A = this chain, B = another copy of it.
Amino acid sequence: MRETQIVDRIRRLAAAPRGNRRIVQAIGDDCAILRPDPKEDFLFTSDFALEGRHFTLDTHTAADVGHKALARSLSDLAAMGAEPVFCLVSLAVPAQLAGGWVQRFYRGLLRLAARYGISLAGGDLASFEKVIVDVMCCGRTGRGKAILRSGAKPGDRIYTTGELGGSVHGLNTRQGRGWRRHLRPEPRIEAGIALRRLGISACMDISDGLALDLHRMCLESKVGAVIDSDLPVAPGASLEEALHGGEDYELLFTASPRIELPGKIGRLPISSIGLITTGHPGRILFQGRPLKPKGFEHFS
């Protein structure tokens, strides 16, 4: 199967979901073209999904890989409260996967894309000995409205959506809700948009574990934190998994105590877990002791 045939197939698959008025040129040329609106800001993120790191071909179907690769990048848009606009997908696969596997990969990716109204506007395709995916997502917010990591202030409460530790627990047990969650993580797009409208002060997604990601948020905001409430530990998961397990893709955020937060957004519970302090930047107290910022680290 030749490259142009594969690209033609992807183009036909990608044409299926509803178009996006902002994208005036998608797959088929050297670049995709975005025609912006002056009242908006556009947000950009890119995330790898690498065979042997983020998935394996034994455990993940082609559609799982497509879903997960897009979900990882969408989760970054969710973290800033953005509405998805378009994505570019760079995919490298061994030559023997160039036919059916690639098509099923795009089906899985485009099914998730359709749910969040994000268009596939281009990317790259190459052959390589392992499966490599890099997904760039573009989202939008009103001008100046994106939620940054750096906005947490002493006195703000700390919250998370959903449950923690489920994905790593699923990875360890290969069964149940946690395993399904690991295979097909859910980006918290609706929650991110709702939280932006509520005026929260800082937000990020939990991809490398609560302890490490809260540490990063505190560094960016130049604040400390204390975890003073029970964590929403996923069923079956340990406290260790909830603190340090990666790939939950829940939202970690802070809000002024003046803001009244609902207990749930849609069906997604919100848990208050702690307090931002004037402590040493990046330092987190948990059960009276400093919490080590360990979690999923690529270079450790």
Query: Which residues of A are in contact with B by a Cβ distance under 8 Å?
Result: 1-4, 6, 24-25, 28-38, 40-48, 50, 52-53, 76-77, 79-80, 82, 86, 88, 90, 92, 95, 98, 121-130, 132, 134, 136, 138-139, 143-144, 146, 148-150, 204-205, 216, 219-220, 297-300
Contact = CB atoms under 8 A, between A and B. Distances in A.
Contacts of A146: 25, 31, 33
Contacts of A204: 29-30
A253 B181 CA distance: 48
A121 to B, nearest CB: 7
Contacts of A220: 28-29
Contact of A122 (B2, B44, B82, B149): B44
Contacts of A6: 299
Contact of A45 (B28, B35, B36, B122): B122
B216 A4 contact: yes
Contacts of A46: 46, 88, 90, 122-124, 134, 136
24 contacts: A2-B299, A2-B300, A3-B299, A4-B219, A6-B299, A25-B148, A28-B220, A29-B220, A30-B45, A30-B77, A31-B146, A32-B44, A33-B42, A33-B146, A34-B44, A44-B121, A45-B122, A47-B90, A48-B134, A50-B126, A53-B126, A53-B128, A98-B299, A125-B298
Contacts of A126: 48, 50, 53, 298
Chain multiplicity (copies): 2
A144 to B, nearest CB: 8
Given A4-B216, A136-B136, A80 B31 contact: yes
A297 B7 CA distance: 12
A156 to B, nearest CB: 17
Given A30-B80, A127-B298, A299-B98, A48 B90 contact: yes
A25 B76 CA distance: 14
Contacts of A77: 30-31
Given A4-B216, A28-B149, 18 more contacts: A3-B299, A28-B150, A30-B79, A31-B44, A32-B43, A33-B41, A33-B43, A33-B146, A34-B42, A36-B38, A36-B42, A44-B138, A45-B88, A48-B90, A48-B126, A88-B136, A92-B132, A127-B298
